[in-house]
């Protein structure tokens, strides 16, 4: 199971539709300061269900929508779509018939986020659980933000435990237990 394609439209600095093929062996994205490297990683985190604006370097969730520049007007929505190859059938149960899994998240000003999994409307939680069960997702330690290494060194034991739980592939169970406790 691996990510093969990331498409962005109106997401942060990616105002024009952008189609990024994630080919085998891709090890880095380089470019001048401010060209959008971190925005790409944030798009990946966002489409996997990130719900904290602070994790997207914004004050509110709508801050991911292209805000406009002196020469281009702001957009009213942002959309990110992630294609996952599942030829190895390592995706969680429920996707055994799918060679490809398509996840789409779209946010519209004043209307919030909507998600689609293989064309079907789903909840944020469904998307988050898919990735948690696959031991990845918006909080996965596989995605390292700028400045995160020093945060890790200074982390409290509880926060470090979450990272170990994620590595052990039980983040989905943790989430379900948390939800059960809230009921």
**Binding partner selected for residue 35 from ligand ATP, Mg ion, none, CB under the kind-specific 5 to 8 Å limit:** ligand ATP
d(CA 174, CA 103): 23
Is residue 10 near ligand ATP by the rule CB under 6 A? no
- 140 a known binding residue? no
Q: Is 35 annotated to bind ligand?
A: yes
CB of 177 to ligand ATP, least distance (A): 35
108 touching ligand ATP, by CB under 6 A: no
Q: Interface residues for Mg ion in 28-67 (CB under 5 A)?
A: 37-38
53 assigned to a ligand binding site: no
Q: Of the candidates 13, 88, 114, 96, which has an alpha carbon nearest to the alpha carbon of residue 57?
A: 13
Q: Which spans in 108-170 are helix H?
A: 124-133, 148-153, 157-167
Among candidates 143, 103, 111, which has minimal Cα distance to 127? 103
Taking a C-beta distance cutoff of 8 angstroms, is the pair 14, 72 a contact? no
Q: Is 36 annotated as a binding residue?
A: yes
C-beta separation of 138 from 46 below 8 A: yes
Residues 130, 92 contacting (CB under 8 angstroms): yes
Q: Shortest Cβ distance from residue 108 to ligand ATP (Å)?
A: 14
Minimum CB distance to Mg ion, residue 140 (Å):
18
| Residues 37-66, mask of contacts with ligand ATP (x by CB under 6 A) | xxx-----------------------x-xx
For the annotated binding site, the residues are 32-39
By CB under 5 A, name the binding residues for Mg ion.
37-38
């Amino acid at each position: 199971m691996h990510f093969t394609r990331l498409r962005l439209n109106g997401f942060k600095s990616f105002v024009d539709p952008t189609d990024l093929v994630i080919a085998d062996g891709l090890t880095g994205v380089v470019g001048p300061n401010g060209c959008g490297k971190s925005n790409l990683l944030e798009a990946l985190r966002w489409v996997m269900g990130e719900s904290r604006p602070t994790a997207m370097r914004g004050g509110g969730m709508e801050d991911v929508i292209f805000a406009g520049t002196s020469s281009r007007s702001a957009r009213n929505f942002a959309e990110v779509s992630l294609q996952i190859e599942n030829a190895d059938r390592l995706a969680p149960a429920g996707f055994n018939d799918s060679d490809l899994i398509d996840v789409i998240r779209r946010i519209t000003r004043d209307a919030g986020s909507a998600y689609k999994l293989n064309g079907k409307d789903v909840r944020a939680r469904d998307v988050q659980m898919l990735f948690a069960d696959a031991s990845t997702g918006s909080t996965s330690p596989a995605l390292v933000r700028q400045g995160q290494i020093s945060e890790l060194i200074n982390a409290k034991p509880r926060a470090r435990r979450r990272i170990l739980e994620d590595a052990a592939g039980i983040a989905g169970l943790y989430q379900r237990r948390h939800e059960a406790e809230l009921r």
